Amino acid sequence: MIVVSYNTRELTRRCLESASAVVASLGGELWVVDNASGDGTAAMVQGEFPRVQLIAKAKNVGYGTANNEAMRRAAGSRFLLVNSDVELTREAVDELMVGMDADRRTALVGACLVAPNGRPRPSARRFPGPLRELVQRFRLYRLLPRGRRGLVLLGEHASGAEAVEPDWVTGACLLVRREAFEETGGFDESIFMYGEELEWCARLRRLGWRIGYARGARVLHVGRASSESALGRRRLALSLEGDLRYLARFRGRWALWAFVVIRASGLAFEAALGALARSREARELAAYQLREHLRLGRRYLSDVLVRQP
């Protein structure tokens, strides 16, 4: 099991308390990669969890790079990657194992993330694309039957009752097969944060691997514990960039161009709705995302045009 932490000492302590109990019952190793936290996380791990194998980084290397380093050094045929704001149970880990055992070509399995208020968080997702962006941004999904809506869009639209194979899953709690990691090299280390799971799942699928989702593997997830303090509003820009990066790498210039136009139109629409509702926060948030999306969209379109004349 691998936990990546950054300035989340108290959450990391609770995560390791639950993780230690699971590891004790299942066997295996427990690793922590601390990304140069300034709150004493590394010292806490050393002092309170002596059996944990700690990698204390001198600087914040990001989520994917930290996980890759631990996976290269860890033993075992499977790796359970866990954010520091997650609390585990043995039952949830068993469900993840069952999901992976169902098919030897399953590269990784995502868990059902649950917020502290008990509300499920979207973790099984579809790849971004122009048509899906149109349906999502302009609320056209309301025209679809509720069951069909969940299957088409997943994420927050899925009820949890659907038996689905997602295109990709968010990375707060992932069970990874060693062979898949060794074949692909793991996460793209040029991506600091946001979009790394999306990009890796796309590469895995191109190589014939499957992506699993265990909706019965319910794990508590606080959410954004590290990114809020480290990035603030910039995390929204990084999230926007993850979709653009995927389209540029895996779908080509026409899909990217259509997506840039549709998302820009949708964000402008959301800013207008915020203005009509006299919601300054909603208007400013949509305007910020629109500016960042257009800036990033121009950059990725230019890069694609250079590579694909």
Predicted confidence at residue 245, as pLDDT, reads: 96
pTM for the predicted model, two decimal places: 0.91
Same domain, 221 and 242: no
Last residue of a domain, one of 229, 250, 276: 229
- Number of domains forming the structure of the chain: 2
Q: Are 54 and 47 in contact (CB under 8 A)?
A: no
Same domain, 245 and 302: yes
The answer as to whether 270 is a domain residue is yes
Residue-number span of the structural domain to which 193 is assigned = 2-126+166-229
Same domain, 74 and 194: yes
Predicted confidence at residue 224, as pLDDT, reads: 60
pLDDT in tens, the chain (309 residues): 999 999 999 999 999 999 999 999 999 999 999 999 999 999 999 999 999 999 999 999 999 999 999 999 999 999 999 999 999 999 999 999 999 999 999 999 999 999 999 888 878 899 999 999 998 888 888 888 877 777 777 777 665 545 578 999 999 999 999 999 999 999 999 999 889 999 999 999 999 999 999 989 999 998 765 545 555 677 888 889 999 999 999 999 999 999 999 999 999 988 888 778 777 888 888 889 999 999 999 999 998 877 765
Same domain, 205 and 104: yes
The answer as to whether 149 is a domain residue is no
Predicted confidence at residue 158, as pLDDT, reads: 67
The answer as to whether 140 is a domain residue is no
Predicted confidence at residue 47, as pLDDT, reads: 96
Measured CA to CA, the distance from residue 236 to residue 289 in angstroms comes to 7
Same domain, 194 and 236: no
Q: Are 174 and 197 in contact (CB under 8 A)?
A: yes
Same domain, 210 and 269: no
The answer as to whether 195 is a domain residue is yes
The answer as to whether 150 is a domain residue is no
Same domain, 213 and 188: yes
Last residue of a domain, one of 182, 205, 229: 229
The answer as to whether 156 is a domain residue is no
Same domain, 51 and 173: yes
Same domain, 106 and 6: yes
Same domain, 172 and 281: no
CATH number at residue 197: 3.90.550.10
Predicted confidence at residue 150, as pLDDT, reads: 73
Same domain, 94 and 213: yes
Last residue of a domain, one of 186, 211, 229: 229
The answer as to whether 263 is a domain residue is yes
Q: Are 169 and 211 in contact (CB under 8 A)?
A: yes
The answer as to whether 12 is a domain residue is yes
Same domain, 71 and 83: yes
